[in-house]
Amino acid sequence: MEKEKVTCLIIGSGPAGYTAAIYAGRANLSPVLYEGLQPGGQLTTTTEVENFPGYPDGVSGPVLMDDLRRQAERFGADLRYGIATASDLGATPYKITIDDEKEIETETLIIATGATAKYLGLEDEKTYAGMGVSACATCDGFFYKKKTVAVVGGGDTACEEAVYLAGLAAKVYLLVRKPALRASKIMQERLAKHPNIEVLYEHNAVGLYGEKGVEGVHLVRRMGEADEHRYDLPIDGFFLAIGHQPNSAIFKPYLETDETGYIHTEAGTPRTKLPGVFAAGDVADPHYRQAITAAASGCKAALEAERYLSSK
Ligand code: NDP
């Protein structure tokens, strides 16, 4: 296997990874960053980002990520395509395998691998993958112009996806398992402005049907209760917006995580229990999960890496 030695390895290319690369680059750590499965991270699948400081008129997700990427490149970060497929953090230097074919030995490691959209776990989600099932409205909404779609979830993401789809589709059903939305007030207000969005509270999707693609969803209202009601709702597209799973699997043998997989870090810092290994952004953040908080923790991780190296 090909081998390479580096001083600072960053895995992930969301706001955390790129910000870490900007700071590590400016500190002359010659950072090497692997961009992972989705270069630019989750924000590349968002339309408008309205709450990132410095953009009073908002900015599109892909443009924001491209700006961060170019800023990292400007300070000499070595940005590469590739996915971290294995880790050996048992001793220093730490070892990360890229694409199962190259091993990077690094003195410091910044894990900024983010999180991935969750699915319900229905067999039908796999059956109809790419045939009507999606976890990204901004990626796939275009295919549902003037059609009928359902969005699962009751959080900010679900509302955002529903509002986005309402601009394209003829009708959007929001399937919420509880009697209330979890989303913030501002998102709920935006939802209410769209007459073609109908919220179906206390509804669970239990399956999908259709000949060549999704033609409908099997629904259960008030599941498990005496007045439980099962029925089928014709739809053309089924969108998941039920939260995310942190991408920490390859590090789990060496680092502590919570039960979902979020990496434990020392309070207020990106320090993990291993010296020189830092976790930044959504992979370590079950609470805030914002671009700006991810960027801030990426900054902290690079500063910590610099301090760790100079203390050695
Ligand atoms: P959340 O965890 O906030 O919400 C997930 C939603 O999915 C909840 O309504 C939950 O239901 C539902 N859900 C989870 N599992 C299932 C299941 N198996 N079946 C049915 N429903 C399920 O995730 P989000 O992705 O919405 O948001 C994550 C974070 O990102 C939040 O902090 C949010 O505020 C933020 N965000 C902010 C935005 C903005 O400000 N513009 C945009 C998007 C996200 P239940 O309520 O019953 O648990």
The matching CATH number, chosen from 3.30.70.20, 3.30.40.10, 1.10.600.10, 3.50.50.60, for 119-240 is: 3.50.50.60
Active site residue 139: yes
Fold match between domain 2-116+244-311 and domain 119-240? yes
Of 66, 67, 136, 156, the catalytic one is 136
What HEC string does the chain produce?
CEEEEEEEEEECCCHHHHHHHHHHHHCCCCCEEECCCCCCHHHHHCCEECCCCCCCCCEEHHHHHHHHHHHHHHCCCEEECCCEEEEECCCCCEEEEECCCEEEEEEEEEECCCEEECCCCCHHHHHCECCCEECCHHHHHHHHCCCEEEEECCCHHHHHHHHHHHCCCCEEEEECCCCCCCCCHHHHHHHHCCCCEEEECCEEEEEEECCCCCCEEEEEECCCCCCCEEEEEECCEEEECCCEEECCHHHCCCCCECCCCCECCCCCCCECCCCCEEECHHHHCCCCCCHHHHHHHHHHHHHHHHHHHHHC
Atom from ligand 1 closest to the CA of residue 242: 7
Cα(292) to centroid(ligand 1), Å: 18
Atom from ligand 1 closest to the CA of residue 186: 40
Per-residue pLDDT of the chain (312 residues; tens, 9 = 90+): 999 999 999 999 999 999 999 999 999 999 999 999 889 998 887 767 888 999 999 999 999 999 999 999 999 999 999 999 999 999 999 999 999 999 999 999 999 999 988 999 999 999 998 899 998 887 789 899 999 999 999 999 899 999 999 999 999 999 999 999 999 999 999 999 999 999 999 999 999 999 999 999 999 999 999 999 999 999 999 999 998 899 999 999 999 999 999 999 999 999 999 999 999 999 999 888 889 999 999 999 999 999 999 998
Task: Say if residue 179 is exposed, middle or buried (CB neighbours under 10 Å; 0-12, 13-18, 19+).
Answer: exposed
Q: Is 48 in the pocket of ligand 1 (CB under 6 A)?
A: no
Confidence at residue 193, expressed as pLDDT on a 0 to 100 scale: 98
Domain boundaries, the chain: 2-116+244-311, 119-240
What is the CATH number assigned to the segment(s) 2-116+244-311? 3.50.50.60
Cα(184) to centroid(ligand 1), Å: 10
Q: How far is CA 96 from CA 28, 60, 158, 283, 290, in A?
A: 21, 32, 35, 17, 27
Confidence at residue 51, expressed as pLDDT on a 0 to 100 scale: 87
Token pair listed for 1 = 């296997």
Would you tell me how many other CB atoms lie within 10 Å of the CB of residue 62? 16
Cα(255) to centroid(ligand 1), Å: 26
